[in-house]
C-alpha cells in the first residue's frame, strides 16, 4: 500500500519547501535561493541552499540534496510514507487513503487542463490590454487613473477581456483546446441550446494565482457603465475551489516570510496599490470572508497578521470574522482601521506609503479592537447592554487555542467590560474553556441556548439592588422639601452615576432645578422604562416624613450628608477599580502616554478619597450592603 503518485506530485507542488525547511533551520534569502548552515554536517559558512522555484535543496558542502520529502526523511530519520505524512501535516493537506485513487488522478488531469487553458487565456487578455487599441482604452484609462504603472500591471499580469461573445473561445480552439476542455475551464458559459459564449466580456482581468504563481481563476471588473455585477468571478473548477487561495500570495510570499507578518486586505487594488508603493507583505482574501483554508495557507509563511479591511460597517464585520478564524488557527492578530473608513488603496494614494506604514505600526491588538466594537453604542451601566457586550466578545476568547493566552485574553476583556463578580467570572470562564463544552462544533440550538444563558447571567449580575445609603438618602430628600433645598446643591452627577438608583436621583435633581413638584407622577414620568425605579418610587414615597413641622434640620442634614459622602466614596472606589483595569491594559499595550494620564488620575482619586474618609474609619466605605426592602 502506498500513497497515489498523483497525490505525492500534488503535495510536492502545494508544500512550500522554504517553509518546511525553515521549521528546522534558519534560512536567509540570497538572490533567488535561501541559504543556511547545513543541518547534515558541521560548518560555519552557509553552503546549504533551497531553491523554491524548483522545489529542491542542495548542500554544496556535503552534497546532500533532493525534494522536500528527501529533506524530511534525512533529518527526521523516517520512511518515505512517514515523510509524506509530515509534509502534508505542515502544508495542511489531508491525506488520501492508501489505495489507488482513480478519481484523484482524473481530477488532477482536469486541473492541469484548466491551468493550461487559463495560461493561454491570460496571454490573450494581457495582449488585449497592452495592444487592444480603442476598445481597451477604458481599461487602460482605469488602470492609469488608479496610478498603476506598466511594471505593476506586468507583475500582477492584468489583462482585458474584449467585449466579444467568442473572442476567447476561438483563441483557445486555435491553441488546440477541445470543446469539452473549454467548457470545463469556467472561461465560457454553456448555452442551453448548445455551444457556449465567453464568460468575461468588456472587463479588466485580475488573475488569481496559487502559491506557485499558476493562474487558477480570475476576477473581472466591469468597464462599461451599467454592467452588472461590478466584479465577476470564475466559478469553481477542477483547479479552483473558492476560499482556498489568497490573491497576491505568489508575489508577496517571500516578503511575508522575511518580515514574519502579513497584512490582510480585502480587494485586488487594496493589495496592488500598496505593493506598488513598497508595502509588499500583503495578501487579499478576494473580497470574501477569510476561510480556515486560507488561514492555513497563510500560516505556511507567517504566524502574525495585521487585518486591514475597509473601515465601514461591512468591513468591520468582516474583520471580526477574520479574527475569529485566525485565532482558531493560532495566529497573533492585530487590526488596523484607517481614518474615515478609507481602504488601503485610497489611503496610500492620498497619504503615501510612509504614513500608511506609520499607522500600521499602531495597529491595535485584536482584544482591544473586539472590546471597542462591543462597547460602541452601548452603556455598561445598562444591564442588558452590558450582557450584549460580554456575549459579543466571548466567541473571540473561546477561539484562542493556547490555554494561557485564552486566560489572559479572558481576564483583559472581563476587566474592560467591568465584570467583577468572581462567581460570574468563573461561570463565564467555564463557558469558554474546552472542558466547559465550548470546544468543537455545536448545534445552533446549543449555541443559542449558551448565548441566552450568558446574557441572562450578566444582566442579573449587573442589576444590583440599591444600597442602604442610596435608599435612605432618597427617603430623606423626596419627603422633605426644606432638606432637599439644603442638600441637593451639594450633589454632583458623579455621586449617583452608575448607581442602580441613578435615574431616580437624576429625576429628583431635574425637578428641583425646574421648581416642579416632587411626587409619584413627576418622578415616574422622568424614570419611565426603569423597572427598578418603578418599584422603588412608591416605596420611598410611602415613607413617612420624620421631621416635624418647624423642627430643626441639623440632625437630618447630618444624616443626609453622611449618606452622600458614602455614595461619593463608592463612586471613587468604582472609578479606582476601573482604573486598575485600564492601567493594566495600557501597560500591556505599551501606551506610555495613556498610562501616565491614568496613573495621575489614580493618584488624585486616592488623595480625594483619603481626604473624604473620616478619621479612624475603615478603608472600605459603608453602604455596601443591599437594602432588604
Which of 202-206, 401-405, 449-453 shows the lowest per-residue confidence on average (mean pLDDT)?
Answer: 449-453
Q: What is the pLDDT of residue 449?
A: 62
Distances (CA, A) of 493 to 316, 322, 338, 474, 523: 35, 41, 36, 15, 17
Q: What is the pLDDT of residue 553?
A: 80
* 460 has pLDDT over 70: no
Are 281 and 306 contained in the same domain?
Answer: yes
pLDDT band at 435 (very low <50, low <70, confident <90, very high): low
Mean pLDDT, the chain, rounded, equals 87
* 157 has pLDDT over 80: yes
* 21 has pLDDT over 90: yes
Question: Which residue among 462, 488, 513 closes a domain?
Answer: 462
Residue 624 lies in a domain: no
**For strand 304-307 and strand 332-335, is the pairing parallel, antiparallel, or unpaired?**
parallel
Q: What is the pLDDT of residue 282?
A: 98
Q: What is the pLDDT of residue 624?
A: 41
Pairwise CA distance, residues 124 & 141, whole Å = 19
Which of 6-10, 39-43, 73-77, 448-452 shows the lowest per-residue confidence on average (mean pLDDT)?
Answer: 448-452
| 242-280: pLDDT as tens digits | 998 999 999 998 899 889 899 999 999 999 999 999 999
Residue 496 lies in a domain: yes
Residue 617 lies in a domain: no
CATH number at residue 23: 3.90.580.10
Are 565 and 605 contained in the same domain?
Answer: yes
Residue 421 lies in a domain: yes
Residue 431 lies in a domain: yes
Are 17 and 122 contained in the same domain?
Answer: no
- Best-predicted range by mean pLDDT (359-373, 533-547, 573-587): 359-373
Rounded to two decimals, the pTM is 0.69
Are 491 and 561 contained in the same domain?
Answer: yes
Are 301 and 325 contained in the same domain?
Answer: yes
Residue 526 lies in a domain: yes
Pairwise CA distance, residues 404 & 393, whole Å = 17
Are 474 and 602 contained in the same domain?
Answer: yes
Residue 174 lies in a domain: yes
Question: Which residue among 233, 259, 290 closes a domain?
Answer: 233
313: Cβ–Cβ under 8 A, 6 or more apart, which residues?
none
* 115 has pLDDT over 90: yes
| 46-89: pLDDT as tens digits | 999 999 888 899 999 888 889 999 999 888 777 788 899 899 98
pLDDT band at 142 (very low <50, low <70, confident <90, very high): very high
| 471-510: pLDDT as tens digits | 999 999 999 999 999 999 999 998 998 888 888 999 999 9
* 566 has pLDDT over 80: yes
Are 32 and 140 contained in the same domain?
Answer: no
Share of the chain above pLDDT 90, in %: 55
Domain span holding position 557:
468-612
Are 608 and 473 contained in the same domain?
Answer: yes
Nearest to 309 by CA among 277, 341, 332: 341
Q: What is the mean pLDDT of residues 376-400?
A: 88
* 591 has pLDDT over 60: yes
* 625 has pLDDT over 70: no
* 629 has pLDDT over 70: no
Q: What is the pLDDT of residue 398?
A: 92
225 vs 117, residue with greater confidence: 117
Are 107 and 67 contained in the same domain?
Answer: no
**For strand 364-365 and strand 332-335, is the pairing parallel, antiparallel, or unpaired?**
antiparallel
First CA to last CA distance, the chain: 78
The SS3 call for residue 552 is: coil
Are 428 and 535 contained in the same domain?
Answer: no
Q: What is the pLDDT of residue 500?
A: 84
pLDDT band at 463 (very low <50, low <70, confident <90, very high): low
Question: Which residue among 314, 340, 362 closes a domain?
Answer: 362
Overall number of domains in the chain:
5
| Angle of the 531-541 helix axis to the 468-478 helix axis, nearest 10 | 60
Which of 24-28, 74-78, 107-111, 616-620 shows the lowest per-residue confidence on average (mean pLDDT)?
Answer: 616-620
CATH number at residue 185: 3.90.980.10
Q: What is the pLDDT of residue 499?
A: 85
DSSP character at residue 354: H
The SS3 call for residue 177 is: coil
Q: H-helix or E-strand containing 168?
A: helix 167-174
Nearest to 159 by CA among 198, 197, 190, 191: 198
The SS3 call for residue 93 is: coil
DSSP 506-540: HHHHHHHHHT---SHHHHHHHTTT-HHHHHHHHHH
Which of 4-8, 321-325, 362-366, 438-442 shows the lowest per-residue confidence on average (mean pLDDT)?
Answer: 438-442
Are 111 and 219 contained in the same domain?
Answer: yes
Are 254 and 335 contained in the same domain?
Answer: yes
* 443 has pLDDT over 70: no
Residue 620 lies in a domain: no
Q: What is the mean pLDDT of residues 388-393?
A: 92
Nearest to 333 by CA among 305, 356, 352: 305
Amino acid at each position: 500500500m502506498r500513497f497515489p503518485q498523483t497525490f505525492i506530485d500534488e503535495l510536492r507542488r502545494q508544500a512550500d519547501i522554504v517553509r518546511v525547511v525553515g521549521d528546522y533551520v534558519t534560512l536567509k534569502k540570497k538572490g533567488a535561493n535561501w541559504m543556511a548552515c547545513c543541518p547534515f554536517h558541521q560548518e560555519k559558512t552557509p553552503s546549504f541552499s533551497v531553491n523554491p522555484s524548483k522545489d529542491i535543496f542542495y548542500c554544496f558542502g556535503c552534497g546532500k540534496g533532493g525534494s522536500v520529502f528527501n529533506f524530511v526523511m534525512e533529518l527526521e530519520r523516517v520512511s518515505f510514507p512517514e515523510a509524506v505524512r509530515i509534509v502534508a501535516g505542515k502544508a495542511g493537506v489531508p491525506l488520501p487513503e492508501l489505495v489507488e485513487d482513480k478519481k484523484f488522478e482524473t481530477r488532477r488531469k482536469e486541473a492541469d487542463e484548466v491551468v493550461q487553458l487559463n495560461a493561454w487565456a491570460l496571454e490573450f487578455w494581457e495582449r488585449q490590454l497592452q495592444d487592444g487599441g480603442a476598445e481597451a482604452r477604458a481599461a487602460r484609462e482605469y488602470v492609469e487613473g488608479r496610478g498603476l504603472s506598466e511594471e505593476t500591471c506586468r507583475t500582477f499580469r492584468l489583462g482585458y477581456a474584449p467585449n466579444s461573445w467568442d473572442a476567447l473561445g476561438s483563441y483557445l480552439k486555435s491553441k488546440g483546446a477541445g470543446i469539452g476542455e473549454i467548457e470545463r475551464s469556467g472561461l465560457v458559459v454553456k448555452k442551453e441550446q448548445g455551444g457556449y459564449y465567453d464568460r468575461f466580456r468588456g472587463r479588466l482581468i485580475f488573475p488569481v494565482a496559487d502559491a506557485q504563481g499558476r493562474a487558477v481563476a480570475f476576477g473581472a471588473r466591469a468597464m462599461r457603465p451599467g454592467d452588472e455585477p461590478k466584479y465577476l468571478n470564475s466559478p469553481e473548477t477542477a483547479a479552483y475551489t473558492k476560499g482556498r487561495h489568497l490573491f497576491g500570495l505568489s508575489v508577496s510570499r517571500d516578503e511575508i516570510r522575511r518580515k514574519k507578518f502579513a497584512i490582510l486586505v480585502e480587494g485586488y487594488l487594496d493589495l496592488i496599490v500598496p505593493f506598488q508603493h513598497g508595502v509588499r507583505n500583503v495578501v487579499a482574501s478576494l473580497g470574501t470572508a477569510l476561510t480556515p483554508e486560507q488561514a492555513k495557507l497563510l500560516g505556511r509563511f507567517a504566524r502574525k497578521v495585521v487585518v486591514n479591511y475597509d473601515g465601514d460597517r461591512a468591513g468591520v464585520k468582516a474583520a471580526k470574522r477574520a479574527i475569529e478564524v485566525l485565532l482558531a488557527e493560532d495566529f497573533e492578530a492585530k487590526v488596523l482601521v484607517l481614518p474615515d473608513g478609507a481602504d488601503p488603496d485610497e489611503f496610500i494614494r492620498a497619504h503615501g506609503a510612509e504614513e500608511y506604514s506609520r499607522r500600521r505600526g499602531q495597529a491595535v491588538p485584536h482584544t482591544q479592537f473586539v472590546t471597542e466594537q462591543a462597547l460602541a453604542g452601548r452603556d455598561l451601566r445598562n444591564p442588558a447592554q452590558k450582557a450584549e457586550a460580554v456575549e459579543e466578545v466571548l466567541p473571540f476568547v473561546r477561539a484562542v487555542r493556547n490555554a494561557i493566552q485564552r486566560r489572559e485574553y479572558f481576564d483583559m476583556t472581563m476587566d474592560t467590560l467591568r465584570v467583577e463578580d468572581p462567581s460570574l467570572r468563573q461561570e463565564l470562564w467555564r463557558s469558554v474553556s474546552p472542558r466547559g463544552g465550548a470546544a468543537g462544533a455545536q448545534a445552533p440550538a446549543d449555541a443559542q441556548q449558551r448565548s441566552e444563558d450568558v446574557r441572562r447571567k450578566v444582566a442579573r449580575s449587573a442589576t444590583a439592588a440599591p444600597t442602604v445609603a442610596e435608599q435612605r438618602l432618597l427617603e430623606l430628600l423626596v419627603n422633605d422639601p426644606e432638606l432637599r433645598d439644603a442638600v441637593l446643591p451639594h450633589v454632583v452627577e458623579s455621586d449617583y452615576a452608575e448607581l442602580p438608583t441613578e435615574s431616580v436621583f437624576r429625576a429628583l435633581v431635574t425637578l428641583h432645578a425646574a421648581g416642579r413638584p416632587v411626587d409619584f407622577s413627576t418622578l415616574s414620568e422622568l424614570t419611565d422604562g426603569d423597572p427598578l425605579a418603578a418599584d422603588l418610587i412608591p416605596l420611598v414615597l410611602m415613607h413617612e416624613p420624620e421631621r416635624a413641622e418647624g423642627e430643626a434640620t441639623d440632625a437630618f442634614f447630618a444624616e443626609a450628608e453622611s449618606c452622600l459622602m458614602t455614595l461619593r466614596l463608592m463612586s471613587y472606589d468604582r472609578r479606582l477599580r476601573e482604573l486598575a483595569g485600564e492601567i493594566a491594559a495600557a501597560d500591556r499595550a505599551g501606551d506610555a502616554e495613556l498610562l501616565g494620564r491614568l496613573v495621575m488620575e489614580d493618584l488624585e482619586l486616592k488623595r480625594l478619597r483619603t481626604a473624604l474618609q473620616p478619621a479612624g474609619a475603615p478603608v472600605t466605605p459603608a453602604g455596601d450592603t443591599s437594602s432588604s426592602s
